[in-house]
């Protein structure tokens, strides 16, 4: 029988990690820290493939145009960093965990660099396959490291396609 203290410990651990849902449903954010650096926008992939160029040019048009205007001429340095990890499927690339709108705007506006906080794989949990995001519910998870070692299809969690501009 699972003890209450074990459940509380597991819940606290999950709250300190980003939980990524399958089928690009999004993430549950956490309070973690990572390595702050500047990365090339061309090396980052937004992990919300349903937010394509049409999305950025229609639903978020004014927001994106304003962001591009503010990012030009080194204004990008004033933006908060995106949250990313080294892409688990594409060496040399980054997968954006949080900050997909900024990344999309920077790609469209041809802003070459973006500030990023790079998390370690230790900070990432994957909601088990078949899980649907539900507000206030903590899903069953597996660590990204364990998922990689067990051969879980990470393409269900991380896109390998860039925003086509």
Predicted confidence (pLDDT) per residue in 47-60, tens digit: 888 888 889 889 89
- Per-residue pLDDT tens over the stretch 92-108: 999 999 899 999 999 99
pLDDT higher at 24 or 70: 70
Give the span between the Cα atoms of 147 and 139, in whole angstroms: 15
Q: Is the pLDDT of residue 1 over 80?
A: no
| The pLDDT of residue 2 is above 60 | no
% of the chain surpassing 70 pLDDT:
87
* Strand spans (E) along 15-93: 18-20, 27-28, 35-40, 44-46, 82-86
Is the distance from CB of 154 to CB of 148 less than 8 angstroms?
Answer: yes
pLDDT tops 70 at residue 29:
no
Q: Is the pLDDT of residue 8 over 80?
A: no
């Amino acid at each position: 029988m699972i003890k209450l203290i074990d459940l509380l410990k597991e819940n606290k651990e999950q709250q300190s990690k980003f939980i990524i849902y399958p089928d690009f449903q999004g993430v549950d954010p956490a309070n973690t820290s990572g390595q702050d650096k500047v990365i090339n926008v061309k090396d980052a992939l937004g992990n919300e493939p349903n937010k394509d160029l049409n999305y950025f040019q229609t639903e978020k048009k004014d927001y994106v145009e304003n962001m591009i205007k503010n990012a030009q001429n080194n204004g990008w340095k004033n933006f908060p960093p995106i949250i990313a990890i080294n892409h688990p499927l594409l060496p040399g690339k980054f997968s954006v965990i949080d900050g997909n709108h900024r990344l999309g705007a920077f790609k469209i506006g041809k802003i070459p660099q973006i500030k990023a906080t790079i998390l370690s794989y230790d900070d990432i949990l994957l909601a088990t396959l078949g899980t649907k995001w539900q507000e206030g519910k903590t899903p069953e998870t597996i660590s990204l490291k364990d998922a990689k070692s067990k051969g879980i299809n990470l393409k269900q969690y991380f896109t390998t396609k860039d925003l086509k501009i």
